[in-house]
């Protein structure tokens, strides 16, 4: 992280020494100004800005919900820490900081995916804190580092498997409920679709060139791809895409716009692809613009 700060600051500091800015028009607050007489002053300014307002403000907000009402107190602590060389004070301050990282609400947020995978699991917070402290103050605990690592690795694999089974079941339940809708058609393969606009143009064959616009999401509404956002339609043949699309494109006349609900076995299967998790049902708004033989 320090390298990132330094890189930002050096990129700014290669210019001539910075000049103080005048008060802007429109009643805006006058910027804080500093005397920057030479390149060393410019470097110092950039390092201070890069380590502070350019990055640290965002981290304080993201990590600790710290807002501007607390900046005065933060700056006081910062000034004290910058000149502190008593190692006991340094250690206590670092312990306080790392204690903030394991506050109850923060740990709950970090651990939520794991705990949601197995409702029988919970964090015994007093025990957690006791062991955390003991791991610094004693030479050994009842489990070795290797045993702890092995246990956590095994538990993670177990919970990932449970989470994946739940995700697979949730996707199957979505399709089962969706199939009950009057406007949804389910084909023999399991593909589901709903006609939004009934086109009257040519229907593609396997080797036809089609031009389409589309938007794809998972069942929780997370968008993973969109030609609409790119502003450029996609072009390909039906044989070049996932099975669910191939089947749909060979039923959709040009000018059609459908909603597709594609089971994982007609999409990216048990492996997934990129941001698409294994066993994902994919939902597409698909619009066929042109079909060429």
pLDDT of residue 26: 54
pLDDT (tens digit per residue) in 201-221: 999 999 999 999 999 999 999
User: CA 269 to CA 279: how far, in whole Å?
Assistant: 6
- Pick 6 or 271 by higher pLDDT: 271
CA quadruple 102, 103, 104, 106: dihedral positive or negative?
negative
Cα–Cα–Cα angle for 186, 189, 190, nearest 5°? 45
pLDDT of residue 252: 98
| Mean per-residue pLDDT over the chain, rounded | 89
User: CA 92 to CA 81: how far, in whole Å?
Assistant: 11
Nearest-10 crossing angle of helices 145-178, 104-117: 60
The predicted model gives 251-269 an average pLDDT of 98
104-108, 191-195, 281-285: which range is least confident on average?
104-108
User: What sections of the chain are H helices per DSSP?
Assistant: 2-13, 39-51, 56-64, 71-82, 87-101, 104-117, 125-137, 145-178, 227-230, 243-249
pLDDT (tens digit per residue) in 160-197: 999 999 999 999 999 999 999 999 999 999 999 999 99
Give me the domains of the chain, ranges plus CATH numbers: 185-292 (3.10.50.40)
Structure tokens at 266: 């007609």
Whole-structure pTM value: 0.67
Stated as kind and residue range, the H or E segment containing 236 is strand 234-236
User: CA 282 to CA 217: how far, in whole Å?
Assistant: 6
* % of residues, the chain, pLDDT over 70: 90
Structure tokens at 287: 């619009």
Per-residue confidence at 21, pLDDT binned at 50, 70, 90?
Answer: very low
Quick check: 244 and 216 in contact, CB under 8 A?
no
Taking 60 as the threshold, does the pLDDT of residue 13 lie above it? no
The predicted model gives 68-72 an average pLDDT of 90
């Amino acid at each position: 992280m320090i390298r990132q700060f330094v890189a930002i600051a050096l990129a700014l500091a290669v210019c001539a020494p910075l000049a103080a800015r005048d008060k802007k028009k429109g009643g805006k607050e006058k910027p804080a100004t500093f005397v920057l007489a030479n390149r060393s002053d410019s470097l110092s300014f950039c390092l201070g800005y890069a380590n502070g307002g350019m990055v640290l403000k965002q981290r304080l907000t993201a990590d600790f919900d710290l807002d501007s009402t607390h900046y005065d107190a933060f700056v006081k602590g910062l000034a004290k820490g910058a000149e502190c060389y008593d190692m006991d004070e340094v250690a206590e301050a670092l312990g306080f900081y790392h204690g903030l990282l394991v506050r109850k609400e923060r740990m709950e947020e970090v651990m939520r995916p794991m705990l949601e995978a197995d409702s029988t699991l919970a964090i015994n917070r007093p025990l957690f804190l006791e062991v955390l402290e003991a791991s610094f103050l004693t030479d050994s605990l009842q489990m070795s580092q290797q045993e702890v690592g092995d246990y956590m690795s095994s538990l993670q694999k177990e919970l990932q498997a449970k989470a994946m089974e739940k995700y697979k079941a949730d996707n199957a339940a979505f399709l089962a409920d969706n199939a009950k809708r009057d406007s949804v058609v389910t084909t023999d393969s399991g593909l589901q679709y709903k006609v939004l606009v009934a086109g009257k143009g040519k229907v593609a064959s396997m080797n036809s060139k089609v031009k389409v616009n589309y938007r794809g999401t998972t069942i929780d509404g997370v968008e993973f791809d969109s030609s609409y956002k790119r502003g450029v339609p996609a072009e390909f043949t039906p044989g070049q895409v996932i099975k669910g699309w191939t089947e749909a494109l060979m039923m959709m006349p040009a000018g059609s716009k459908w909603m597709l609900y594609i089971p994982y076995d007609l999409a990216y299967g048990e492996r997934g692809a990129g941001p698409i998790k294994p066993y994902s049902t994919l939902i597409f708004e698909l619009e066929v613009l042109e079909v060429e033989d």
